[in-house]
Amino acid sequence: MAARAGEVAQPNGSTALVEPIYQSTVYAYPDLEALEASMSGAQPSAFYYRNGTPNGATLERALAMLEGTEAALVAASGMAAISSAFLGVLKTGDHVITDSRVYGVTYALLAEEFPRLGIAVSFVDACNLEEVEAAFRPETRLLHVESLTNPLMTVPDVPALARLAHARGALLSVDNTFASPAVFRPAQHGADLITHSVSKYLSGHSNAMGGVVCGRADLVAAARTRLLRYGGSMSAFDAWMTLQGLKTLGLRMRAHSGNAQAVADVLVNHPRVRAVYHPGLSDHPQFHLAMDLYPDGFGGMLSADIDDAPAFVRSLAGRIPLAPSLADVITTLSWPWGTSHRALPEPERRRLGITPNLLRLSIGIEDIGDLLGDLEFALDGGQT
Ligand code: PLP
């Protein structure tokens, strides 16, 4: 269904299977009545690019359908989506609880920007339900977590967190970037707001930038008001590119998940690998919960602590790129110690398990034999 969201009927009766890119920044109206109907919302229509493009509206329908929510709002980046979602529901005096493992810029937004607005934030281990429960205050309005965390792939219990939040009159927001709705749909488990960095699995080819907020219509409308005022709208081209990527989301995620599980199973048995972090391994701390919540796999992300990581990365040169993003159809590597977690004090990084030898792998959809061949070549010293 979502794959056909972009079809556009033509005046001559045929249908464009691929929606045209609407690059117009403004739209003309035949008369004042038509303009009034558009502005009042009686007959909503595209009128000015910052307020949303037809390509963005198509993408919003597709993403709401995929996440199973009433509405969706697309944005210029994941951070534009997250900040709009938060600003839509928070006001001065409110309190937020969040996992201390959230994406670094989300952490900085909550730790450094929101206190300037008079919004207090507590950081907790979201996998420890007692710690989460103890952090609630009468003014707690929002609990925010990521469905699979970066880079150690912990799995917070979203249904239990939703129950905790709702019992205290708070909302649960879930960043579902690492999972995608093809493997996990937080709304089905009680989440009120779902966010994504669209440049990851939803678009899937490292060629489109954007974000999305999905949720109840009133919560999405509140986020939209903030997004439009702060000016974080998504470009028509990025929305269009994402719609093309979305057509293969299900197929890609099955391949990412299968390949990542196969890589995890091989890495865990290699003498050079000290630890592998993947929810499908039986020694993962949330293995049973993960198997319950993710019956279709976990996507392509995993991390591994590998002896002499610098030499391993050098051996992979020309085979697996070192690139600090994720979710491409090709496998990429990143280095949390020096990139995403660079700002954390060294003892804190080590306490979390983020060592200089930890590498995050975003496993692609390549032929698994070729991929394992490349990894084993590098693990065995890279000699030909
Ligand atoms: N959430 C997660 C889990 C991410 O990994 C990222 C970026 O890597 C973001 C949010 C922010 O998204 P963007 O870079 O599109 O602003």
Give the pLDDT of the chain (384 residues) as one tens digit per residue: 777 777 777 777 888 899 999 999 999 999 999 999 999 999 989 999 999 999 999 999 999 999 999 999 999 999 999 999 999 999 999 999 999 999 989 999 999 999 999 999 999 999 999 999 999 999 999 999 999 999 999 999 999 999 999 999 999 999 999 999 999 999 999 999 999 999 999 999 999 999 999 999 999 999 999 999 999 999 999 999 999 999 999 999 999 999 999 999 999 999 999 999 999 999 999 999 999 999 999 999 999 999 999 999 999 998 999 998 899 999 999 999 999 888 888 998 898 889 999 999 999 999 999 999 999 999 998 765
Known active-site residue 308: no
Euclidean distance between CA atoms 162 and 156, whole angstroms: 11
Q: Quick check: 135 and 122 in contact, CB under 8 A?
A: yes
Q: Is 214 helix (H, G, I), strand (E, B) or coil?
A: strand
Ligand 1 pocket member 67 (CB < 6 A): no
Q: Where are the beta strands (DSSP E) in 153-272?
A: 171-175, 193-197, 211-215
The answer to whether the CB of 197 is under 6 A from ligand 1 is yes
Contact 300 CB / ligand 1 (< 6 Å): no
Q: What is the reported pLDDT for 2?
A: 73
Listed in sequence order, the residues at least 6 apart from 251 whose beta carbon sits closer than 8 Å to its beta carbon are: none
Q: For residue 175, indicate whether it is catalytic.
A: yes
Choice among 200, 226, 349, 360 that is catalytic: 200
Those residues whose C-beta lies under 8 Å from the C-beta of residue 31, and which sit 6 or more positions away, are none
pLDDT value for 383:
67
The identity of residue 115, as a single letter, is P
The encoded tokens of residue 289 equal: 């919960």
Given a contact cutoff of 8 angstroms between Cβ atoms, the answer to whether 211 and 75 are in contact is yes
| Alpha-carbon span 234 to 145, nearest angstrom | 24
- Residue 342: CB atoms within 10 A of its CB come to 11
Task: Return the amino acid letter for 204.
Answer: G
Does the beta carbon of 180 sit less than 6 angstroms from any atom of ligand 1? no
> How many CA atoms, within 13 angstroms, populate the side-chain half-sphere of residue 2?
22
Tell which residue, 242, 262, 129, has the closest CA to residue 180: 242
- Full-model pTM: 0.96
Contact 92, 141 (CB under 8 A): no
Query: Exposed (0-12), middle (13-18) or buried (19+): which is 13, by Cβ within 10 Å?
Result: exposed
Is 200 in the active site? Answer: yes
Strands 140-146 and 171-175: parallel
Centre of ligand 1 to C-alpha 85, Å, is 14
50 is catalytic: yes
Ligand 1: nearest atom to the Cα of 211 = 15
Domains of the chain in start order, with CATH, are 32-246 (3.40.640.10), 249-379 (3.90.1150.10)
* Ligand 1 neighbour 103 (Cβ under 6 A): yes
Phi, psi (5° rounding) for residue 134? -70, -20
